[in-house]
């Protein structure tokens, strides 16, 4: 009877032993007791597949993550002092000090913009569009400083605010007029701030602080370039119109959100 026939069959224990022992041969074998012919091709493939799977599982186990072993070195460096930061990791002292210095830069620029807002909001100046522009610019720089303070705390640093110089309160200029002079000063501040941010970015690179690099790039550098471009166009427009009636139209454009009066 061939294997696969619909007739019933039974194989004794001793016959099973003989069948297993005969697997070492590559040819088909015949059981004379029951008249059953066996082919070992499927059996051999099954054994090879099982062995391959076991080898793969073994290789996975060899590279498995062992948290309780690898975490031991981290447990040793977690500070126990009450005033030490628990979140600080790979954050260099130079980066901490440089970020505090940049916070001071942002606050100083905000302070100057706020003084410009106060000047153009005077009753005898009354350029409401310029007042609005510089007020928003002041709030933006203050927001940048607060973002940096939040990041400083997130990395386990300590925020140290520095003193600020009193800004100018008068922005009128005999030749340029107050609008152009103030806008040129704003452009100079934005260019200076961009230079400071690039220095901060370079310092983060030197200390291999990838997270700090990403913070400076994603939150500040792109917007800084856009602000420089926008204020550069404002300076060019104000230079064209001089100190006359065109300044009022420019002011109305700022007041209406970029729409000419």
User: Is 150 annotated among the ligand-binding residues?
Assistant: no
Residue 106 annotated as part of some ligand binding site: yes
Q: Is 58 annotated as a binding residue?
A: no
The C-alpha atoms of residue 149 and residue 234 are separated, in whole angstroms, by 31
pLDDT tens-digit profile of 108-118?
999 999 999 99
Position 152 scores a pLDDT of 96
Q: Which helix (H) or strand (E) holds 29?
A: strand 29-31
Checking if the pLDDT of 141 tops 60, the result is yes
162 is in an annotated binding site: no
How confident is the model over 143-164, as pLDDT tens digits?
Answer: 999 999 999 999 999 999 999 9
Instruction: Please state, rounded to an integer, the average pLDDT across all residues of the chain.
Output: 83
Q: Cβ distance 250 to 179 under 8 Å?
A: yes
Selection from 93, 104, 94, 92 nearest residue 196 by Cα:
104
Selected residue with higher pLDDT from 49 and 205: 205
Please state, in angstroms and rounded to a whole number, the distance separating the CA atoms of residues 223 and 220: 5
Q: What is the pLDDT of residues 43-58, one digit of tens each?
A: 445 555 555 666 666 5
Enter the pTM of the model: 0.71
141 labelled ligand-binding: yes
For residues 117 and 152, is the Cβ–Cβ distance under 8 A?
A: no
Nearest to 187 by CA among 248, 221, 233, 144: 233
């Amino acid at each position: 009877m061939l294997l696969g026939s619909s007739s019933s069959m039974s194989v004794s224990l001793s016959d099973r032993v003989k069948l297993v022992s005969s697997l070492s041969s590559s040819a088909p074998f015949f059981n004379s007791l029951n008249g059953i012919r066996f082919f070992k091709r499927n059996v051999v493939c099954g054994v090879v597949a099982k062995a391959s799977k076991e080898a793969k599982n073994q290789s996975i186990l060899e590279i498995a993550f062992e948290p309780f072993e690898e975490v031991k070195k981290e447990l040793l460096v977690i500070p126990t002092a009450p005033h030490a930061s628990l979140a600080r990791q790979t954050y260099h002292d130079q980066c901490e000090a440089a970020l505090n210095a940049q916070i001071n830069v942002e606050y100083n620029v905000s302070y100057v913009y706020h003084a410009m807002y106060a000047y153009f909001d005077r009753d005898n100046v009354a350029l409401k569009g310029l007042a609005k522009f510089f007020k928003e610019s002041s709030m933006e720089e203050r927001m940048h400083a607060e973002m940096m303070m939040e990041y400083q705390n997130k990395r386990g640093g300590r925020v140290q605010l520095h003193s600020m110089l009193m800004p100018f309160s008068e922005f009128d200029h005999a030749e340029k007029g107050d609008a152009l002079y103030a806008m040129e000063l704003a452009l100079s501040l934005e260019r200076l701030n961009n230079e400071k941010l690039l220095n901060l970015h370079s310092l983060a690179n030197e200390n291999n602080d990838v997270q700090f690099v990403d913070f400076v790039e994603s939150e500040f550098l792109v917007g800084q370039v856009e602000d420089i471009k926008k204020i550069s166009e404002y300076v060019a427009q104000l230079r064209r119109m001089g100190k006359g009636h065109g300044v009022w139209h420019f002011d109305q454009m700022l007041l209406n959100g970029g729409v000419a009066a």
